[in-house]
Amino acid sequence: MKTKTKVAVIGSGNIGTDLMIKVLRLSDTLEMGAMAGIDPASDGLARAARLGVPVTADGVQGLIAMEGFEEIRIVFDATSAKAHVANAAALAPYGKQLIDLTPAAVGPMVVPAVNLADHVDAADVNMVTCGGQATIPVVAALSSVVPVPYAEIVASIASKSAGPGTRANIDEFTETTSHAIETVGGAGRGKAVIVLNPAEPPLIMRDTVLALVDAPDEGTHDALRAAVAERVGAVAAYVPGYRLKQRVQITPVPADQPVHTLTEAPVTHQVSVFLEVEGAAHYLPAYAGNLDIMTSAALRMAEAMAARATELQGADA
């Protein structure tokens, strides 16, 4: 039988618990080695224990002290931006690869459909944010056809799907996502907005990408639509509930439009892309697509890291 790569999850909240369930149910190459939290009464730790996963309520230090810690190769951090800095420092001497699901952005930012292969050997990768995972593939698709001087994204998520960690990291969310729109998506300037929608019943995650481009001819418009469709398919391969809501809109921008103040580069059209992300409901309801896209992206990253490690071991044998 093929040996699986052992992983651990730090953080027993919504994201950490959903990630654990995905590892247990979906992965043929990963094995849960431990879950660490700081709340002994959390549902995540209780659920992990029922599923036979070793647990600790003493956080990262408890994880390091656990029997079998040396066998764990990859550690997911589903805590908070501030906590990740401390967790990364504590784990640094042990040679683990870290996958950061907080907006800490300590390591390189990864969106699997865009730049996964570039960072499979990194010690600490950052999965940006839910809004970034949903929209940056689209920005990157547009950037592959024409320069994108400006891109703005709006991520709307159900208020019920935003736990304490998400609410505590709103500033980091906007800063990290805006930076990733530029560095990963390829936009000259990026802006990110998050909306916590209190509607009842809760609505599934919706994302809008607005990009300014210089694309005066129909051939370029067709190429932009084709690039977006291809990249949406690439994301849907690991996030099945990810989809376009309608045809990509490409509209002229008149010379006197205020949007011209957003960039000094020549702009002829605005590209508008409307997306939605339905969750797989592994742990939380289907409306929590914002959690599902993060955990699905992290799982995809971990499997790529595990495959890379197996490849290197085979080369050394």
Q: Is 169 annotated as a binding residue?
A: yes
* Catalytic option among 9, 88, 130, 239: 130
Low-confidence stretches of the chain (pLDDT beneath 70):
1-2, 316-317
The answer to whether 164 is annotated as binding is yes
Q: Which pLDDT tens digit goes with each residue over 210-265?
A: 999 999 999 999 999 999 999 999 999 999 999 999 999 999 999 898 988 999 99
pTM above threshold 0.75:
yes
For 55, 115, 142, 184, the CA distances from 110, given in Å and listed in that order, are: 28, 6, 18, 8
307 annotated to a ligand binding site: no
Task: Indicate if the alpha-carbon torsion angle 61, 65, 67, 69 is positive or negative.
Answer: positive
SS (H, E, C) 211-267: EEECCCCHHHHHHHHHHHHHHHHHHHCCCCCEEECCCCEEEECCCCCHHHHHCCCCC
pLDDT in the model for residue 3: 86
* Residue 65 is among the residues annotated as catalytic for this protein: no
Q: Is 290 annotated as a binding residue?
A: yes
Give the domains, in start order, of the chain with CATH numbers: 5-127+293-316 (3.40.50.720), 130-286 (3.30.360.10)
Is 73 labelled a binding residue? no
